[in-house]
Amino acid sequence: MSNQLCIVLDFGGQYNQLIARRVRECGVYCEIKRFDTPISEIRALNPTAIIFTGGPNSVYDPSSPHISKEIFEIGVPILGICYGCQLMAYTLGGKVESCEKSEYGKIEITQKSDSLIFKEVPEKSVVWMSHTDFVSQLPEGFSVTAKSADCPCAAFEAPEKKLYAVQFHPEVTHSEFGKQILHNFLYNVCGCTGDWVMDDFIENTVKKLREQIGDKKVILGLSGGVDSSVAAGLLSRAVGKQLTCVFVDQGLMRKDEGDFVEETFTKLFDMNFVRVNCKDKFLAALKGVTDPEQKRRIIGTEFYNVFWDKIREQGTDGFFAQGTIYPDRIESGRGNQAGHGSTAVIKTHHNMVKMPDDIKFAGTIEPLGDLFKDEVRAVGEKLGIPHDLVWRQPFPGPGLGVRIIGEITEEKIKILQEADAVFRDEIRKSGIEEQLKQFFAVLPDVRTVGVMGDHRTYDHLIAIRAVTTDDFMTADWARIPYDVLAKVSNRLCNEVEHVNRVVYDITSKPPGTVEWE
Ligand code: XMP
């Protein structure tokens, strides 16, 4: 890659990926590396900028992640953030102590300096702090550039050495001028030029893919999710009909979704599109099964049986492509949390598929392997992939299978698909879609008594679920306005056959999960 590079050295903080994303948003290509990456390797990568992340440790704890002094001598500007700031001071001979009063949350800092990193940042601004240690004495050659009421060294620097440090988290949106500070560091200090542009990414990747693939074939498993759809779009642009996308429709997608995926990729893109409809096979395998884990297992196993059979049928003499994205393959350097310096922790992910032993391709291609999700979406939009696919909500691999409690039958799938479609339509019309991270209907397999006209009914209950969240690790139930809920309830009971009652799930995560199974 010919782009300028910013290396984010990971000391185990929770916002590390966020730092990398912010750097990329500034138009600078960025990679996260473990804190113990050898200095020779860092030099060889020829970075333009280095950032030390935060982390949960104290620098004076001997088992905390440290770094060799040599890093400060390679001539590349460094910005230390939070733990990274303390580590810079400590390693260069300063002193770090426990705060009398820890700072957590939004804190006002005052900066009165001509520091390059505070350009266009007002004298007083709010930043996000989260620390129990602080730098009590600066190393030689450093001076303070910002303070808060409880932190005398909220920022400091040695501009001749191109070393900068901030105790707060500029990557978090609560830091009012955080992005400006990162931008200042990258552009004013490091001389970055902003050469990480999505248009260039598409052009360069298409060129590289053509060189790599030559006249061979490529097979991609398409799920209809964002990542595999964008990977398909890129590969199609690069090699057209040499690409075959295999789309397994187990009949557990949302209403009309399978047809939408097929139409999109056959009409808008040049490729071979193979759709395998296997709803009946799945229903037969799931007959009588009610245990959630067993249902998941069956759906997963059946899916890969069908998928690999189709791949064998198509031939394996070319490349196998996957929609793996950057966060799927980041190797974390999580300080003490994962026993730093011991075995590397590599995130496993459903995007990374384990191939059966008898299937051997010439190689694997991951065209999105360097991108974050928001960058994948930007590429998808530029490639002309429809908005609904590019901005698709997360959808579980087992599909509606985990939203139908108890045994899965064709009738229940139909009721849930219809109900889900009505709920989605009403949310879209109400204009609150953007505020919700995920929303869907669930069929709890409960029947209740109702009345319709003069008749008693005994029919299905539909539960609706809508959540707000940053990362899906925790989530809150969305405060959908009552009048929207009223319309949804009314339409579900009137328009969806076999539904006579609606409940709204007001459980946050934890203790609940987003999905019901
Ligand atoms: P939970 O239910 O664990 O869901 O709170 C968190 C997020 O993950 C999605 N989810 C899945 N995604 N395969 C997936 O690809 C799965 O088996 C799966 N189960 C849950 C869920 O929709 C939510 O966004």
481: cis peptide before it, omega within 30°? no
Cα→Cα distances 133→99, 412, 485, Å: 5, 56, 48
pLDDT (average), residues 477-494: 98
* pLDDT for res 327: 86
3-class DSSP assignment, residue 145:
strand
Q: Can you tell me the distance from the alpha carbon of 204 to that of 197, in angstroms, rounded to the nearest whole number? A: 11
Q: Which of 353, 472, 505, 508 to mutate to test the pocket of ligand 1 (most atoms within 8 A of CB)?
A: 472
Confidence grade of residue 341 (pLDDT, cut at 50, 70, 90): very low
Residue 339 has pLDDT above 90, yes or no: no
Strand partners, 463: 442, 503
What is the phi/psi pair of residue 39, to 5°? -60, -35
Residue 340 annotated as catalytic: no
Report residue 353's pLDDT band, with 50, 70 and 90 as the boundaries: low
Confidence of residue 331 (pLDDT cuts 50, 70, 90): low
The backbone torsions φ and ψ at residue 106, rounded to the nearest 5 degrees and listed phi first, read: -80, 125
Digit-coded pLDDT (tens) for 225-261: 999 999 999 999 999 999 999 999 999 999 999 999 9
pLDDT of residue 1: 61
Ligand 1 atom showing the smallest separation from residue 515 Cα: 2
Its sign, for the CA torsion 228, 233, 239, 245, is positive
Tokens of 239: 């090699």
pLDDT tens digit sequence for 27-38: 999 999 999 999
- Whole-angstrom CA distances from 105 to 10, 16, 127, 131, 173 are 22, 18, 8, 10, 12
Residue in 271, 252, 265, 116 with CA at minimum distance from that of residue 183: 116
* C-alpha span between 19 and 53 (Å, rounded): 8
Candidates 77, 89, 102, 104; CA nearest to 182 is 77
C-beta 327 within 6 A of ligand 1: no
Q: Is the pLDDT of residue 334 over 50?
A: no
Phi, psi of 383, rounded to the nearest 5 degrees: -80, -5
Distance of CA 419 to the CA centre of its chain: 28
CA 394 to ligand 1: nearest atom = 24
Q: 57 C-alpha to center of ligand 1: Å?
A: 31
Report whether pLDDT(346) > 50.
Answer: no
pLDDT at 349 over 70: no
Q: For residue 500, how many other CB atoms are within 10 A of its CB? A: 20
Q: Pick the residue whose CA is nearest to atom 19 on ligand 1.
A: 396
DSSP E strands in 64-142: the ranges are 78-81, 95-111, 124-137
What's residue 352's pLDDT? 57
Q: Does residue 66 have an active-site annotation?
A: no
In whole angstroms, give the CA distance from residue 323 to residue 312.
20
More confident site: 105 or 335: 105
Q: Tell me, what DSSP letter sits at residue 509?
A: B
Model confidence band, residue 467 (pLDDT cutoffs 50, 70, 90): very high
Q: What is the number of the ligand 1 atom nearest to the C-alpha of 393? A: 24
Preceding peptide of 396 cis, ω within 30°: no
Which pLDDT does position 453 carry in this prediction?
A: 87
User: Mean pLDDT, to the nearest integer, of 168-197?
Assistant: 96
Report the pLDDT averaged over residues 128-155: 95
Q: Which two tokens stand for residue 1?
A: 């890659």
Q: Catalytic annotation on 82?
A: yes
> Given 169, 183, 340, 460, which residue is catalytic?
169
> Cα–Cα–Cα angle for 202, 206, 27, nearest 5°?
25
- Select from 247, 249, 246 the least CA-distant residue to 283: 249
Three-state SS at 407: coil
pLDDT tens digit string along 426-459? 999 999 999 999 999 999 999 999 998 889 999 9
Closest CA to 131 of 100, 92, 176, 172: 100
Nearest alpha carbon to residue 174 among 236, 115, 129: 129
At 509, the pLDDT band (50, 70, 90 cuts) reads very high
* Res 345: pLDDT: 32
Which residues contact residue 318 at a Cβ distance below 8 angstroms, ignoring those fewer than 6 apart? 213, 216, 217, 218, 219, 242, 361, 362
Give pLDDT, residue 113.
86
More confident position, 337 or 16? 16
**H or E stretch including 60?**
none
Average pLDDT, the chain: 93
pLDDT level of residue 71 (50, 70, 90 thresholds)? very high
Pick the most confident of 100-109, 289-298, 335-344: 289-298
pLDDT in tens, 382-416: 999 999 999 999 999 999 999 999 999 999 999 99
* Residue 58: per-residue pLDDT: 95
pLDDT of residue 344: 31
251 lines ligand 1 (CB under 6 A): no
Give the whole-angstrom CA distance, residue 98 versus residue 208.
Answer: 51
Ligand 1: residue whose CA is nearest its atom 24: 394
Separation of 517 CA from ligand 1 center, angstroms? 9
Q: Write the DSSP assignment of 302-324 as a string of letters.
A: HHHHHHHHHHHHH-SSSEEE---
Give the pLDDT confidence score for residue 2 in this predicted structure: 80
DSSP 8-class letter at 443: B
SS3 category, 430 = helix
Establish whether residue 398 lines the binding site of ligand 1, counting it when its CB lies within 6 angstroms of any ligand atom. yes
Residue-wise pLDDT for 96-127, tens only, equals: 999 988 899 999 999 988 999 999 999 999 99
